[in-house]
Chain A
Amino acid sequence: MKLSDKTAIVFGCNGLIAQAISKKLSKEGCKLVVTDLKKEQANKVASELKNAVGLGVDVRSEKDIKEAVDAAIKKYGKIDFVVNCSRISLFKEVVELTENDWDTIVDFNTKSMYYIAKAALKNMMDNNYGAIIGLTSKTAISGPANLSVYSASMNASIGFLRSLSCEVRNNNIRVNAICPGFIEHEELVLGAELTNNDPPGEGIYIQFSPLINVASEPDALANLVAFLASKEGEFITGQTYSLWEDDMTGYRNLGQMAEF
């Protein structure tokens, strides 16, 4: 077990990827606090893991995040890793986007990174140890149509994490971003819910490559997160990772690529 004396908080544990990450960290011996906007979901994920507790956290609330960090320190004595998997998405043209759509998505996806880093850094700096990992998106790099605010928020998160990695380099704290290659059903559901838009149909998600294997990517990403958190990844910081190169974002009819 690579992470047996370690502790982590996984924010936004509802999606397939976040659940795979939580499972992998737990399997490697990491003690966990898992949070979700919906407390029952966090509890459900926690109940399936060893040494894990669930908490209801709205990542748009600095107070909620501070409380989660304090709870983790109280329970486990320290925080070694935070993984922010809080993402919501919205498939909508720029000309149709409302200010509320914009603010809700940027706050949930990007401002959460700032709140979480700020809250966790103090303990990590005291310990002179830590890793911060942000789940962003391949759309941050490619920028597909009808996903402008999502892409903007994700690349904004990457920009934030890159700068942060420079700031905490001398504190032995590593900061990296990973970029999943598909947009999860849960992100679209919660995105629609929080912005009062129409919900996506049952089971709908968005993929950007005919080759991506949605069934296997969550586990592959979880392995990458465990690697970045582990001793093997202790000299890696300020990096942005995705798992594969091909991308059909520029394809004229993205609608055909989306599983709508």
Chain B
Amino acid sequence: MRLENKVAAVTGAGRGIGRAIALALAKDGADVVVSDINLQEAKQVSKEIEALGRKSLALKTDVTSKKDVDDLIKKTIEKFSTLDIIVSNAGVSSMEYVVDMPEDKWDFNMDVNLKGTFLVTQAAAKQMISQQKGKIICTASMAGKGGVATQAHYNASKHGVVAYVKSLAQELAPYGINVNSICPGSIKTSMQDREVEWSAQIRGAGATSESIREEMANFTPLGRIGLPEDVAKVVVFLASDDAAFMTGQAINVTGGQINTC
């Protein structure tokens, strides 16, 4: 076990990739704070972690609220005295063309995905600087590197995360803190379920959720849609000392897919 006696906090950990990350960190020995905007789901994941024999804490966090985020770090320290690993994972998406994009959709994507990453990592960085160690991992996306129609706002937010992580890594390197991001490709989650439905509607012309899923798998050189666990394993690696000499990177976990039009 690579993460014994480590304390981790994961935002957006109630479901999907975040849940898989929280469980994978726990399986490798870490105690895990499960943060989500949906407290019920966070509690459920927290129970699963305790069933693995680790300590856990479930917290309700809206990552766009500085107060909630500061509270997350404060309560983590109160219970566990340290924060070794933060995974800023909470994220949202929607789909619309730029010409018709309502401003609230722009704000929703940018605020949760990009500003939320800033608020969570800033609060964690302050704690980790005082410890002179830590691992910061942010969930970006394949959309942080390429471009795709109907998600210009989501793309903007995820590109922002990729660049932000590079800057933060430069700043925190003198304190022995590693900062990296992961860029998942097509991963089976409830976010993807929604996107598949939207894509089918937007595409029309006989497109179905099944045909969209098939297309996603076909666009992926490894020939399948990824699982949250595929991503979680890479996060555990980045959180471990195996990745001690990696910082400022944006690691693709895409099955070889490159995001394009």
Which A residues are within 8 Å of any B CB, using their own CB?
Answer: 62, 93-95, 97, 99, 102-103, 106, 110-111, 113-114, 117-118, 121-122, 125, 139-149, 151-167, 169, 238, 249-250, 252, 254
With a cutoff of 8 Å between Cβ atoms, the chain B residues found around residue A117 in the complex are 98
Q: Is B198 an interface residue (CB 8 A)?
A: no
The answer to whether A114 touches B98, judged by C-beta atoms less than 8 angstroms apart, is yes
With a cutoff of 8 Å between Cβ atoms, the chain B residues found around residue A155 in the complex are 159-160, 162-164
With a cutoff of 8 Å between Cβ atoms, the chain A residues found around residue B164 in the complex are 143, 148-149, 151-152, 155
Q: In the complex, what distance in Å separates the CA atom of A151 from the CA atom of B250?
A: 15
Q: Which residue of A lies closest to B157 (CB)?
A: A156
Could you pull out 20 A-B pairs where Cβ atoms are within 8 angstroms?
A: A94-B167, A94-B172, A99-B66, A102-B118, A106-B114, A111-B106, A117-B98, A155-B159, A157-B156, A159-B143, A159-B156, A159-B159, A160-B159, A162-B155, A163-B147, A164-B98, A165-B147, A167-B99, A167-B149, A252-B174
Q: Which residue of A lies closest to B126 (CB)?
A: A95
Q: In the complex, what distance in Å separates the CA atom of A122 from the CA atom of B97?
A: 12
The answer to whether B147 touches A152, judged by C-beta atoms less than 8 angstroms apart, is no
Interface contacts beyond A146-B171, A166-B149: sample of 13 additional A-B pairs, CB < 8 Å, sorted by A: A95-B122, A121-B99, A145-B170, A147-B167, A154-B163, A155-B160, A157-B159, A159-B147, A161-B147, A163-B151, A163-B152, A164-B98, A252-B174
With a cutoff of 8 Å between Cβ atoms, the chain A residues found around residue B97 in the complex are 167
Minimum distance in angstroms from B249 CB to a CB of chain A: 11
Q: Which residue of B lies closest to A113 (CB)?
A: B156
Q: In the complex, what distance in Å separates the CA atom of A158 from the CA atom of B147?
A: 9
Q: In the complex, what distance in Å separates the CA atom of A141 from the CA atom of B248?
A: 11
The answer to whether B248 touches A143, judged by C-beta atoms less than 8 angstroms apart, is yes
Q: What are the 4 tightest A-B residue pairs by CB atom distance, in nearest-first order? A: A143-B166, A162-B147, A159-B159, A155-B163
Q: Is B185 an interface residue (CB 8 A)?
A: no
The answer to whether A159 touches B160, judged by C-beta atoms less than 8 angstroms apart, is yes
Q: Which of A122, A149, A162 contacts B146 (CB 8 A)?
A: A162
Q: In the complex, what distance in Å separates the CA atom of A161 from the CA atom of B122?
A: 27
Q: In the complex, what distance in Å separates the CA atom of A163 from the CA atom of B143?
A: 9
Q: Which of A114, A139, A148, A160 contacts B168 (CB 8 A)?
A: A148
**Total chain B interface residues with beta-carbon distance under 8 A:** 50
The answer to whether A95 touches B129, judged by C-beta atoms less than 8 angstroms apart, is yes
Minimum distance in angstroms from B190 CB to a CB of chain A: 22
Q: Is B165 an interface residue (CB 8 A)?
A: yes
Q: Is B205 an interface residue (CB 8 A)?
A: no
The answer to whether B106 touches A114, judged by C-beta atoms less than 8 angstroms apart, is yes
The answer to whether A156 touches B167, judged by C-beta atoms less than 8 angstroms apart, is no
With a cutoff of 8 Å between Cβ atoms, the chain A residues found around residue B248 in the complex are 143, 250
Q: In the complex, what distance in Å separates the CA atom of A126 from the CA atom of B162?
A: 35
The answer to whether A97 touches B118, judged by C-beta atoms less than 8 angstroms apart, is yes
Minimum distance in angstroms from B100 CB to a CB of chain A: 9
Minimum distance in angstroms from A178 CB to a CB of chain B: 16
Q: In the complex, what distance in Å separates the CA atom of A62 from the CA atom of B126?
A: 36
With a cutoff of 8 Å between Cβ atoms, the chain A residues found around residue B157 in the complex are 156, 159
The answer to whether A152 touches B167, judged by C-beta atoms less than 8 angstroms apart, is yes
The answer to whether B162 touches A160, judged by C-beta atoms less than 8 angstroms apart, is no
With a cutoff of 8 Å between Cβ atoms, the chain B residues found around residue A146 in the complex are 167, 171
Minimum distance in angstroms from B75 CB to a CB of chain A: 20
With a cutoff of 8 Å between Cβ atoms, the chain A residues found around residue B260 in the complex are 166
With a cutoff of 8 Å between Cβ atoms, the chain B residues found around residue A121 in the complex are 98-99
Q: Is B103 an interface residue (CB 8 A)?
A: yes
